[in-house]
Structure 1
Amino acid sequence: MLENPFIQKMLGYAEQGMDLALGWLTSPAAWSQFGLLVVAFGLAWYLSRRLNKAISPLLTPAEDAVGLVATSRRFVLGFLPLLLPLLAYVFTAIGEQVVRSLFDSGAVIAFGKRLFLFLAARILVQRIITDPFLKLLGKFILIPIAALYALGLLDTASAALSEFQVGVGNISFSLMALVRGVIAGSLLFWLGRWSNDQSAALIGKKEELRPATRQLAVKAVEIAIFGLAFLLLMNIMGINLASLAVLGGAVGVGLGFGLQKIASNFISGVILLLEGQATVGDFVELDGGEAGTIVKMTARAIILETYDGRWIVVPNEDFIVTRVINYSDQGSANRYEAEFSVSYDTDINTVPAIVEAAVQGHPDVLLEPYPADCELRGFGESGIDFSVEFWVNGIDDGRHKYTSDVLFLIWNALKDNGIEIPYPHRVVEFKGEMPK
């Protein structure tokens, strides 16, 4: 078992470490460096406490303070825990220069300097970073790299990873390039996501733009940000973009055959955003019977929410090639009717004024384009039939039951004026004797 090459190599490293430790323990230069490390840490601890007491009141905003200045002060305040390890690193670096000029050796104090940098990275990940994704990157990438640097093994690990080559077709890259790409890609796409969220929030505040224009601007910024991130990632990994021509051709063929529906829906989505005929918040109905409020517009489909809480995913192409009824168009008025009847004993000349006044009293009934209009529709079997037309901004369903409200108003108005709402009457004639 001891003849295993890996075990032999590890034992060799352990023996070298023991010799190095014994050398440090018996060397006056090493003891002086240990002393300088203790002095540097003590000075950094004292100075960081003083600076914390002086800086914290200046950076701490009021609890109810909002705005860019208050946010920036809170952001800077969160980095105060880094004062101790960074000051210790600076003082140790100064001490290293002094030791190397006196003893021509500084291995111990250099190790201490790297150790303080490792502590700074650990504090950054554990106490300062709050974003879950960045904290994950720090835990599994930043801290291991800082640990390798503190132990002096970072260059060795980098050289080993650089020597290991990986080839995929005509593309060849080292394992180090892959690791560098994973790190850079994670940071770039996190930054891209953050930038996209900020730009989307900024564009969403531009009320002077049409909703469709805002959606199109958000999509354009998103494509630009992540496209730039992809190009930067390829450059960082050292991959020649010309070598991706074959892959690009394959993707083009796939779009032409297998992905033509996806491409069609994507282009249809762009057309919808440009024309603005349907946008978020509109109530629409398609030829197939699907109806609901548009709650989200994606690159592939539009999501409708029905009034019973269900979501319907409709491909963008359906909004282009089929007939679509848009009931709202961001606030356009819609006309509805409410039918009712009155008794034949009623003076029907007074009914329109009474009903129109009652319906117009509803807070959502509009005066434009037309006020409430009560019309005589016919003479029924049991009563005289009327209908009142009214205009509202919105749909008579879901949260707004306009027709129901209007019928309540009509009922109360007719009752207050002594007008009877009839119910069916039947006249039955008997021939011969009355049945017992």
Structure 2
Amino acid sequence: MTLISTNETINSISQDSLTAMLNDYFVIAQDALTSMGFVVQLSIVASIYLFSYLIASRLRKKISPIKESADSSTHSLQSVVNRFLDVVFPMLAISFLTLATLLGERYDIETWLINTVLIIAVLAFLNTVVGAVVEGENLIAFMRWVMLPLVFLHLVGILPHIISVLETVAINIGNVEVSFYGIGRVLVFGIILFWLGRAFRMVGRNLIRNHKNLDVTTKEVFTKVFEVALFCVGFLVLLNIMGINLTALAVFGGALGVGLGLGLQTIASNFISGIIILLDHSLTIGDFVELEDGSKGFVREFRMRYTVLETYDGKDILVPNEKFINSLLTNWTHKDPKQRYRIDFSVAYKTDIRAMCDIIRAAVAEHPQVISGDDIPFEERPDCEIDSFGDSGVNMFVEFWMYGVDDGKNRVGGDLLLIVFETLRKHNIEIPFPQREVRVLNDKELSALKAHEDRKDD
């Protein structure tokens, strides 16, 4: 009985204490919500949001959103401007709330409501930005469940205390001290730098490649330089975050130079060869090239180490850049997309060659991809000529000019062979085939032939 009564007494005291505490909090909240300071802060917050909305609306009227086109040549600056117009209102509100907080601290004015609204506005804005800009479910989850809580802890002033606790938990590896805070900082900022580097790389590459005042090779050079500079900046920032003294890079640079001269000379040679190719305009995107070893295809992309050639059968050939410098290269379409080709055929000796040539020229000129017409120079019009005199007939050929390469979608040679065949058959022109004459000799003729051969031997 005594134990039960004691527990009831303790429970009664706990409930009374909890009730009293809740009543105290309720009274404090009621006093805060009914105070003149709350009304003033609420008015300031409402005025800030109204003023920010008016400025954002005015700015949106001045800078109208750019309609994005489905065309691949659409400038990437369009999406940047449109996204800026979408976030200008919350950015203005956050800026004015921050300014109000600083002024309140300076003149000793209550700003607890403004601080609360500022924290909520910052977290909501960052969450919206993460959903609109970041790609990839894993990266979005990392930003929302790691970065946003860290931002919240920083805004409420708890993060410095957590950092000081994490710094005390460390592991000594020789002369190096590794703390939990250092590991977490490298992981968090490393992921952020990786994402920022990829995002800036994509935006910068699109901006450069879609610039109308630059040619293709210059765009590729600027793209390469931008990617290398971005990588170097990210690498240096990550080293600084890791706490590595950047003055030590002088020694590292000397070691790297020795490494390039010994083990990495092929990679360095390919990189420098790629820069030379882009600067001397010997290759451009879309050129059809043929290498000394017989590899051929269209130039589709320049990379730091190699160039991508796309063949007609859908294969990608990765050719080291130095191969374009050190070996023989045939560029079919660099200066002039027009190419000359020929097809061969034969006709019988009894054919009227002059009339037949006129007929073949006219038939070949009707092909839509063959360059022909009175306005075309004479040397570029279809021409039919004698190549040689064969055993069974006259060997002829047709020369013609066309745009592009005679392969893939432009299989003109096969079409013209069929046209020539049908034209010859239509005009009853004989296409010769190898013939052999066989004579059967009797006994007298064999004896005479043998005697003749014997006399020749004597």
Matched, 1:295 2:285: no
Matched, 1:374 2:389: no
Match of 1:217 in 2: 222
Match of 1:267 in 2: 272
Q: Determine which structure has more spread, i.e. the larger CA radius of gyration.
A: 2
Backbone CA RMSD of aligned residues = 4.6
Matched, 1:244 2:249: yes
Match of 1:386 in 2: 396
Would you say the 8 A contact 1:82–1:120 is kept in 2?
A: no
For residue 29 of structure 1, report the CA deviation from its aligned partner.
Answer: 4.3
The letter for the 2-side match of 1:404 is G
For residue 340 of structure 1, report the CA deviation from its aligned partner.
Answer: 2.1
CA distance in 2, matches of 1:144, 1:58: 32
CA distance in 2, matches of 1:53, 1:208: 37
Partner of residue 358 from structure 1, selected from 363, 373, 379: 363
For residue 339 of structure 1, report the CA deviation from its aligned partner.
Answer: 1.4
Matched, 1:284 2:289: yes
Match of 1:407 in 2: 417
CA distance in 2, matches of 1:195, 1:247: 27
Q: What SS does structure 2 have at the residue aligned with 1:295? A: strand
Match of 2:134 in 1: 132
Q: What SS does structure 2 have at the residue aligned with 1:399? A: helix
Match of 2:160 in 1: 155
CA distance in 2, matches of 1:365, 1:315: 35
Q: What SS does structure 1 have at the residue aligned with 2:286? A: coil
For residue 256 of structure 1, report the CA deviation from its aligned partner.
Answer: 2.4
Deviations 1:231-278 (A, max 9, x none): 455566664321233333333332222222111211221222222222
Superposed, 1:79-228 pairs within 5 Å as 110=112, 114-129=115-130, 130-133=132-135, 135=140, 138-149=143-154, 152-161=157-166, 190-205=195-210, 209-228=214-233
CA distance in 1, matches of 2:79, 2:218: 33
Deviations 1:295-349 (A, max 9, x none): 1111111111111111111111222222222222254432211112334443211
Match of 2:429 in 1: 420
Identical-residue share of aligned pairs (%)? 33
CA distance in 1, matches of 2:283, 2:125: 47
Match of 2:31 in 1: 32
For residue 184 of structure 1, report the CA deviation from its aligned partner.
Answer: 5.6
Would you say the 8 A contact 1:302–1:316 is kept in 2?
A: yes
Unaligned runs of 5+ in 2: 1-16, 70-74, 443-458
Say if 1:126 and 1:264 are closer, same or farther in 2 by CA, change over 3 A.
Answer: same
Would you say the 8 A contact 1:121–1:142 is kept in 2?
A: no
Deviations 1:356-412 (A, max 9, x none): 233233333334563222111234455432101112232111121021232234345
Unaligned runs of 5+ in 1: 1-17
Would you say the 8 A contact 1:282–1:330 is kept in 2?
A: no
Would you say the 8 A contact 2:48–2:97 is kept in 1?
A: no
Superposed, 1:303-322 pairs within 5 Å as 303-322=308-327
CA distance in 1, matches of 2:397, 2:348: 14
Would you say the 8 A contact 2:45–2:114 is kept in 1?
A: no
CA distance in 1, matches of 2:59, 2:278: 48
CA distance in 1, matches of 2:118, 2:30: 21
CA distance in 2, matches of 1:265, 1:50: 57
Say if 1:244 and 1:166 are closer, same or farther in 2 by CA, change over 3 A.
Answer: farther
For residue 218 of structure 1, report the CA deviation from its aligned partner.
Answer: 1.9
CA distance in 2, matches of 1:167, 1:267: 43
CA distance in 2, matches of 1:392, 1:353: 20
CA distance in 1, matches of 2:43, 2:362: 86
**Which stretch of structure 1 is more off in the superposition, 30-39 or 305-314?**
30-39
For residue 427 of structure 1, report the CA deviation from its aligned partner.
Answer: 6.6
Match of 2:343 in 1: 338
For residue 183 of structure 1, report the CA deviation from its aligned partner.
Answer: 5.6
CA distance in 2, matches of 1:268, 1:402: 35
For residue 431 of structure 1, report the CA deviation from its aligned partner.
Answer: 4.3
The letter for the 2-side match of 1:25 is D
Partner of residue 331 from structure 2, selected from 326, 331, 335: 326
Would you say the 8 A contact 1:82–1:123 is kept in 2?
A: no
Say if 1:299 and 1:186 are closer, same or farther in 2 by CA, change over 3 A.
Answer: same
Would you say the 8 A contact 1:281–1:295 is kept in 2?
A: yes
Would you say the 8 A contact 2:346–2:432 is kept in 1?
A: no
Matched residue count: 406
CA distance in 1, matches of 2:261, 2:275: 19
Say if 1:88 and 1:267 are closer, same or farther in 2 by CA, change over 3 A.
Answer: closer
- TM-score, normalisation: structure 2: 0.69
Would you say the 8 A contact 1:189–1:226 is kept in 2?
A: no
Q: What SS does structure 1 have at the residue aligned with 2:205? A: helix
The letter for the 2-side match of 1:310 is K
For residue 282 of structure 1, report the CA deviation from its aligned partner.
Answer: 1.6
